[in-house]
Amino acid sequence: MSNAFDFIIVGAGSAGCVLAGRLTQDPNVRVLLLEAGTAREPLASRVPAAFSTLFKTRHDWAHQTEPEPALGGRRLYIPRGKVLGGSSAMNAMIYMRGNPIDYDGWASGGADGWSYADVLPDFVRAEDQARGASDAHGAGGPLRVEDLICKNPLSAAFVAACEEVGLAHNDDFNSGIQDGAGFYQVTQKGGRRWSAANAYLFPALRRPNLSVARGVHATRVVLENGRARGVEYIDGGQRKIARADLEIVLAAGAIGSPQLLLLSGIGPADELARHGIPVVARLDGVGQNLQDHPFAGVAYHCKEPVSLLNAEGLSALLQYVFARRGPLTSNIAEAGGFVRSKDGLDAPDIQFHFAAAFYVDHGFVKPPGHGFSIGPTLVAPTSRGHIGLRSTDPTAPPVIVGNVLSQASEIAALVAGVRLARKIAAADAFVRFRGSELLPGDGARTDDELTAHIRATAELLYHPCGTCKMGKDELAVVDPELRVKGVAGLRVADASVMPVIPRGNTNAPTIMIAERLARWLAT
């Protein structure tokens, strides 16, 4: 492998795959992609319903927060893919862009050129929509987006129950109108996961101008006279340096990218001083502004044996192996919706994820029998956390402080979400299925009791972002062209640059961000 490249990309997650695939379309551009994971595509990644079996394996960074004060000192688990495709190789595959108001807010807050009208062409460019092209959707792009092949009857009951309680039916959450309930579209192709690696990276692997180094751990950006010139990384126990003639792009995610900046001397002076790291560029926002989507579960036993527990049987396996059909094609969270927890809100602040299964403690706890879950998720959180270094050892996990649900208004919104989830479960559409309530249980009825349930059980939805925010204020780390302030030749392109978390699942927005940067770098 050559030691000199035009571009070095750190991280083969969703953004890194997009950049590697797009940039190497020009045969004269030499690209090195560095990835800590060793696997190309684990078998469990290919099978949609099996994604949670990758949690806490060698394919998962398996991060966790520090003890969360508002949640009784619990540490919250944050799975992150350590594999080609990153977290798009182990997520629930929901294709969700967010609300137009999110991007208009980015632009009005200082991220010039990132309004919804600005970013829509990049969403469309990425997409291969099974329903065909339209004003809001693209066909022929790398990222396949399809309707679910197999829809569980419990998911259909959820959608019908939502309509019973007054929620509008929404057949396309990405049309620009987000309110309502319906089935989610997924990043699948013919019944199998279609990760960012499937979409962008794997087709590019045979290109001679793309080099991919797997099983390597980036340790710092090499800076010379205020410019990023290379990346130091560990490969087989040895430290090596690769050099870039044009630019280096960090795409290591909202946890990995700020950690690498800090190790390189780019960040808050006090944080760097604590670890004896010389300040190369003082950027107080590195690692700040951490956001994620917290959720609290409502779960019921199911009176009929129709849940996704059936995906574990021989019949389901045979359907999948021979026809790519059946319950193993499920993304688990098949249906959902967006609602406003109170009157007067400009956009939904609660998203429902419905699972035709028990989803307790990330799937690690398996209550006996069939069941279903409704997860009210706070998609407009106001709490902010931060990421810092645990030590100067680049392989040590960083310190992650979420400050999750530290605001009373956030708890109130989730209490409203839990109450609405119960109302949906009580609708006539669920009569034949609904058994006893597992969570929160009959003992939780008052606001105080539901608050206690939320504080005892709330988890994160695996959408960390914001820790290298773009903009113009004092905490902005990158400018609207994703250039790290004060350091030439260095950009960040992943969920860390989002100033405010979008209302919805964050994989599609991350891919959009990388599509934009790839287009800029190619001109």
Residue 434 belongs to a domain with what CATH number?
Answer: 3.30.410.40
Listed residue (196, 285, 218) closest to 467, CA to CA: 285
User: According to the model, what pLDDT value does residue 523 have?
Assistant: 78
Query: In 3D, which of 416, 40, 460 has the Cα closest to residue 212?
Result: 40
Torsion of CA 274, 278, 283, 288, to 10 degrees: -30
Is residue 399 assigned to a domain? no
- The answer on 501 and 418 residing in a single domain is no
Q: What are phi and psi of 317, to 5 degrees?
A: -65, -45
Distance of CA 172 to CAs 94, 118, 136, 412, Å? 12, 20, 10, 28
Same domain, residue pair 285 and 301: no
Instruction: Give the C-alpha separation, 29 to 22, whole Å.
Output: 10
Q: If DSSP codes are grouped into helix, strand and coil, which group holds residue 396?
A: coil
Report if residue 330 sits inside a domain: yes
Considering the domain boundaries, does residue 343 fall inside one?
yes
- Does 299 lie in the same domain as 286? no
- Which structural domain range is residue 474 located in? 1-143+190-290+388-393+463-523
| Percent of the chain at pLDDT exceeding 70 | 99
Given this model, what pLDDT does residue 39 score? Answer: 82
* Threshold 0.85, pTM exceeds: yes
pLDDT score for 475: 97
Do residues 487 and 266 touch, judged by C-beta distance below 8 A? yes
Q: Mean pLDDT across the stretch 34-50? A: 94
Measured CA to CA, the distance from residue 102 to residue 234 in angstroms comes to: 38
Kindly state whether residue 4 falls inside one of the protein's structural domains.
Answer: yes
- Model confidence at 2, pLDDT cuts 50, 70, 90, reads low
Q: Is residue 213 part of a domain?
A: yes
Q: Are residues 285 and 371 in the same domain?
A: no
Give residue 522's Cα distance to chain centre.
26
Q: How far apart are CA 89 and CA 80, in angstroms?
A: 10
CA–CA dist 457, 399 (Å, integer): 22
CB 343 within 8 A of CB 390: no
Q: Residue 267's beta-bridge partner residues?
A: 282
| Mean pLDDT value across residues 327-354 | 98
pLDDT tens, 278-306? 999 999 999 999 999 999 989 999 999 99
Residue 494 lies in a domain: yes
Residue type, 126: A
* Paired tokens of 365: 């706890």
Above 80 in pLDDT, residue 12? yes
Residues marked active site are found at 463
Residue 400 lies in a domain: no
Q: What is the CATH number of the domain that holds 32?
A: 3.50.50.60
Does residue 218 share a domain with residue 129? Answer: yes
467-492: per-residue pLDDT in tens? Answer: 999 999 999 999 999 999 999 999 99
Residue 21 three-state SS: helix
The whole-number average pLDDT for the span 358-378 is 95
Indicate the pLDDT class of residue 246, thresholds 50, 70 and 90. very high
Specify whether 233 is located in the same domain as 302: no
The SS3 assignment for 496 reads helix
By three-state DSSP, how is residue 140 classified? coil
Q: Are residues 478 and 443 in the same domain?
A: no
Residue 475 to residues 76, 110, 306, 483, 496: CA-CA distances in angstroms?
A: 25, 11, 50, 14, 13
Instruction: Say yes or no: 259 and 198 in one domain.
Output: yes
- C-beta separation of 478 from 492 below 8 A: yes
Residues 57, 198, single domain; the answer is yes
Whether residue 1 is predicted with pLDDT greater than 90 in this model: the reply is no
| pLDDT of 3 | 64
- The number of helices, as runs of H, and strands, as runs of E, in the chain is 12, 26
* Mean pLDDT rounded to a whole number for the chain: 97
Query: Omega before 440 cis (within 30°)?
Result: yes
Give the number of domains in the chain. 2
CB 124 within 8 A of CB 136: yes
**Torsion, CA 183, CA 189, CA 194, CA 200, rounded to 10:** -130
Q: What is the rounded average pLDDT of the residues 164-176? A: 98
Of the chain, the percentage scoring pLDDT greater than 90 comes to 98
Both 313 and 450 in one domain: the answer is: yes
Query: What percent of the chain is helix, strand and coil (3-state, nearest 5)?
Result: 30, 25, 45
Place of tokens 């200082």: 110
Whether 437 and 517 map to the same domain: the answer is no
Is 341 within the bounds of a domain?
yes
**Rounded (5°) CA angle 260-263-264:** 90
- What is the band of 4 on the pLDDT scale with cuts at 50, 70, 90? confident
Residues 377-419: tens digit of each pLDDT? 999 999 999 999 999 999 999 999 999 999 999 999 999 999 9
Residues 450, 412 within the same domain: yes
What is the DSSP track for 449-492?
Answer: HHHHHHHHH-EE-S--B-TT-BSSSTT--B-TT-BBTT-BTEEE
pLDDT at 252 over 70: yes
